[in-house]
Amino acid sequence: MATTDPIMKAAITTAVSSHREEGRDRRPPKLRVVTVSGTLNSPSKTDALLDAIVDSLAQALRIEVCAVRVSDLGPQLAAALTQESIGEQLHNALSQIETADLLIVASPVYRSSYTGLFKHLFDLIGRHSLVNVPVFLAATGGSEKHALILEHSLRPLFGCFEALTLPIGVYAHGDDFTGGRVTGPDVLKRIDQSISQSVPLILLRSEERWNAEPGQ
Ligand SMILES: Cc1cc2nc3c(=O)[nH]c(=O)nc-3n(C[C@H](O)[C@H](O)[C@H](O)COP(=O)(O)O)c2cc1C
């Protein structure tokens, strides 16, 4: 999705160019983005929403994306009780999440909250592994009535990790999708708004992290 919103374009251009002017882009050029999907379905509206968010972010920043889907981890995730007793695929997924520059997390609403496997995945994440990591919150539901999942379920979960949840989350429901893609104009606009507000925070946090870990 190309960004057409002139306000968003201006905000992002300002953030990225002030970052460059201060010589900060000597750092690794690509941001390591990890998407985490709590869906159990394929095709999935939640995955379509993640695609739309990543498309919008890619208009603003150079990114490399790793996708973690709980349904791909399936039985080994459900059976895992500790980080010590897990297989290679799950270990790699946890490592990707714990070392991301930016997490974009999305879950379908199941009984007013995120899916059980989504929560179980984060139960296996180190308690201090996400401190100050920017987290973009997103969710899909069958109706618009459960949009507050972003605030009453997802934000407190990442608050527990002391992560930096980004100010505007995105919720989409049935009418916002056509042919497996997000087409609802309000949702697309909200994604753009969220990205434009988030880019300065994401760049600031990445810079702090790269300074703290100069070997990266
Ligand atoms: C077990 C189950 C529980 C659900 N509970 C809710 C709910 O409480 N509120 C709601 O709006 N949608 C609910 N839904 C609908 C899904 O959240 C919605 O269809 C979602 O977009 C599916 O995303 P997906 O295609 O990525 O799986 C539920 C669906 C299932 C299968």
23 backbone dihedrals φ, ψ, rounded to 5° = 75, 20
pLDDT digits (tens, 9 = 90+) for 27-49: 556 899 999 999 999 999 999 99
Q: Is the pTM of this model over 0.85?
A: yes
Each domain of the chain, given as residue ranges in start order, spans: 29-209
CA–CA separation, 187 and 197 (whole Å): 15
Q: Is 108's C-beta closer than 6 angstroms to any atom of ligand 1?
A: yes
pLDDT digits (tens, 9 = 90+) for 156-187: 999 999 999 999 999 999 999 999 999 999 99
Q: Is 115's C-beta closer than 6 angstroms to any atom of ligand 1?
A: no
Pairing of the two strands 177-178 and 181-182:
antiparallel
Q: Is 206's C-beta closer than 6 angstroms to any atom of ligand 1?
A: no
Residue nearest to atom 29 of ligand 1 (CA): 110
Architecture of the CATH domain 29-209: 3-Layer(aba) Sandwich (3.40)
Burial state string for 121-157 with b = 16 or more CB within 10 A and e = fewer than 16: bbebbeeeebeebbbbbbbbbeeeebbebbeebbbeb
- Contact at 8 Å (CB) between 108 and 74? no
Q: What is the residue whose two structure tokens read 């697309």?
A: 188
